[in-house]
Amino acid sequence: MALVKLALRNLARNKRRTAITFVALVAGVGAMVAIKGFMNGQRRQILENQQRGNLGALQVHRKGYVANVLASPLTLDFADSPALRATLAAVPAVVAVSPRIEFGAQLSTPDRRPPPDDGSDLPEADRGQSSFLLFTAIDPATERVVTPKRWEWVSWARGQMPRAASDAQVVLNDDFAKGIAVPLWAAGEAVPPIEQQLAVLAPDRDGSLNGVNVVMAGTLASATPNDRRVGLMPLATAQALLRMEGRVTEYGLAVAEGADLAEVKRLVEAAVGADFEVHTWEERLPFVRDIVDTQDFVFGIVSGIFLFVVLLGVVNAMLMSVLERVREIGTMLAVGMRRRQVVQLFIAEGVVLGLVGGALGALVGFAWVSWMNARGLSIPAPGAKVPSLLRPSVDAAFLARATLQATAGAALASLWPAWRASRLRPVEALAHT
């Protein structure tokens, strides 16, 4: 405590220099906390879009489905039984279970006008187009709980989601729909005749080609950096198209907020048995983990630069203090103070400066993050066109770590000036002018 009191007194001797160093520490640590809060908010935005907008927290498939997803996943289907749904819903922290089928299909648009009466061919610009895309068949009633953001993304674009699993409607990616000029059917309007509807052709489970006529009820805005050739189809309509009545290829699971996803996955695996495999959304989308890892790497570099620049100021302040107090240091050494005590004194000054400045900087950064969290920032996720509300956040552990880093860094920055002070010879120091 005597060293701390002496350190505080010495820091107060040159108030201007101490204030400048102190402000630099507060600004540096505050900026670190603010940047971390922003990155945490962006990470949460990306993860929430993928989990609550595309896949759900967990997916259940037949064994080997994910390994063969590019081959023939329709052959790895299973019965959509009430008993299996009940088994999954009974797992602790599982909030909802939604059946799905993923399949590739060809979408053909109608001709823009009838053929000429003289029997000649339509001009190329007036002919319908055919495109390949990936459909996800969903039950709107259960899917809305598992991936509620899909409904938000439709509201950002055009139209609406199908309301029943048997509706002969589809929802397409907005960019894709505009690219092939797909007409939008509005709810309440009369359904157009078959020749003016969209045709979806797809091989069924046995490889035989089948088709169904549908209308486009809505479009999905691009909210995640995924392929634009995607669409949604009501589950019963897709089952009829694929001749898979009562069967699905996966279940999407919603998990309670804050639940340990790895633990819930383990419980689901135990519940469904060895014939099924369970994956988290992160395992299905490894590129998202790469994005998060890249963010952590960039933050490490940026925070290191901030801390290095701030600590250069601490080194400069401590060296100036040594130069100003040469005679004082010589007097202390002459009256019996040991050299290690001189080192401890200057390190104590650095620790006090780092601790107080780091703690205040962490509080300033936390105040900014809290304010922005309450307000929200409307920023689209990388590769997305839909603005998402980004809410920065930091936890208490990071605030404590930032304060500790500032304190430890200031102590280390004080080592060189402290060592210089301890190496002074009393006779020469007392003769210093």
List pLDDT tens digits, range 276-294: 999 988 787 777 777 777 8
In a domain, 280, yes or no: no
166 and 30 share one domain: no
132 and 30 share one domain: no
- Alpha-carbon 93 to chain mean position: 21
Reported as a pLDDT band with limits 50, 70 and 90, residue 378 is confident
Helix or strand holding residue 4 (H, E): helix 2-11
Among the candidates 273, 298, 333, a domain finishes at 273
Listed residue (203, 412, 161, 228) closest to 307, CA to CA:
412
In a domain, 205, yes or no: yes
- What is the per-residue DSSP string for 332-357? HHHTT--HHHHHHHHHHHHHHHHHHH
148 and 223 in contact (C-beta within 8 Å)? no
In a domain, 148, yes or no: yes
Average pLDDT over residues 347-367: 87
Domain count for the chain, please give it.
2
Listed residue (233, 253, 229) closest to 242, CA to CA:
233
In a domain, 344, yes or no: yes
235 and 313 share one domain: no
pTM more than 0.85: no
* Residues of the domain holding 325: 3-48+289-430
* Beta carbons within 8 Å of 84's beta carbon, 6+ residues apart: 78, 251, 272
69 and 13 share one domain: no
In a domain, 283, yes or no: no
Reported as a pLDDT band with limits 50, 70 and 90, residue 26 is confident
Cα separation, 177 vs 171, in Å, equals 9
Cα separation, 374 vs 370, in Å, equals 6
191 and 297 share one domain: no
Reported as a pLDDT band with limits 50, 70 and 90, residue 231 is very high
In a domain, 59, yes or no: no
245 and 356 share one domain: no
Among the candidates 221, 247, 273, a domain finishes at 273
In a domain, 279, yes or no: no
23 and 156 share one domain: no
Among the candidates 239, 273, 307, a domain finishes at 273
89 and 238 share one domain: yes
